[in-house]
Amino acid sequence: MNKEPDDKVLRVVNQIGELSRVEVFLEELAEEWSLPTPFVFSINLVLEEALTNIILYGFDNDSQHTIDVCFTKTGNELSISIFDDGHEYDPTLKTDPDITLPLDERPIGGLGIFLVKKIMDKVEYQRKENRNILILTKNIGS
């Protein structure tokens, strides 16, 4: 049986400190939607990676920008859409790092978006009305 989807929106500004609000928001969402703890861990990680990228590299000026994070639960699937008005950037096009390199050849960093792609079932990007939209989907599991 298909239930009506549930929706929640979290609005943050382009400051790293906002990540702690994401954590609190997810704790509340986990309780309300009965999300399993390992799943919440994954979602927290993915959101931190995506938002950190937007906050640190997405904007060409220092002025305040809002980033909307919309959560939709349809049956056993969670979909998260992140909207920002930064410059056009499609993270799905980023080349994956080579995770088989030995220690001395391993570059420092560059794992964030790779983790997002590996953890989520689906990662899609759209550019609409001067906004980046990153849509992340994952099955909630049991």
Partner 1 sequence: MNVTVKNLNEFTVVSIEGRIDTTNANEFEKMVMEVIDGGCSKIILNCAGLNYISSSGLRIFLIVLKKMTALKGQFRLSNIQPGIREIFDISGFSSIFSIFPDIEDASKD
Positions in the binding site for partner 1 (CB under 8 A): 16-17, 19-20, 38, 41, 44-45, 48-49, 52, 99-104, 106, 108-109, 111-112, 114-115, 118-119
| Min dist. Cβ of residue 113 to partner 1 (A) | 9
Nearest of 133, 131, 134 to residue 65 by alpha carbon: 131
Task: Compare residues 38 and 63 and give the one whose CB is closer to partner 1.
Answer: 38
For the chain, how far is it from start to end, CA to CA, in angstroms? 17
Nearest of 94, 92, 97 to residue 134 by alpha carbon: 92
Cα gap 97→138, rounded to integer Å:
22
| Min dist. Cβ of residue 121 to partner 1 (A) | 14
SS3 11: strand
Q: How is 43-79 classified by DSSP, letter by letter? A: HHHHHHHHHHHHHHHS-SSSS--EEEEEEEEETTEEE
Task: Compare residues 19 and 140 and give the one whose CB is closer to partner 1.
Answer: 19
| Min dist. Cβ of residue 40 to partner 1 (A) | 10
Task: Compare residues 15 and 126 and give the one whose CB is closer to partner 1.
Answer: 15
| Min dist. Cβ of residue 102 to partner 1 (A) | 7
